[in-house]
Amino acid sequence: MTAEHAHRLKGGPAYTYDVRNADGSPDSLDPGTGTRLAVGGRVAVVEDPAGLVATQLAGRQDPAVPLVFACLGVAGLVAAVAGTAVLGERRRVRNATTR
């Protein structure tokens, strides 16, 4: 890391860093709120070669990942309940006797 930039947020201080990738190209790193690193030190990072996702500390999970999986789980649960209700109603109507 070559430089540190401090930012004030509602949740407390946050830091971004100027880093050099293994190939020597410059990049920036946001390790997340409350994480401070030593300037001049080495850290393992994950870099997207296409540049579509921001560089992250290795081993860190993007906060959006658990949210996406939670939403998918809720959507699956709602679909299962709705499917069960529709099938139950069809069976009830089919088994109904007319007098």
For strands 45-46 and 3-9, give the pairing: unpaired
> What are the respective helix, strand and coil percentages of the chain, to the nearest 5?
30, 25, 45
Q: Where do the domains of the chain lie?
A: 3-57, 62-99
pLDDT at 39 over 90: no
Query: For 57-91, how does the pLDDT look when each residue is reduced to its tens digit (9 = 90+)?
Result: 776 666 677 788 899 999 999 999 999 999 988 88
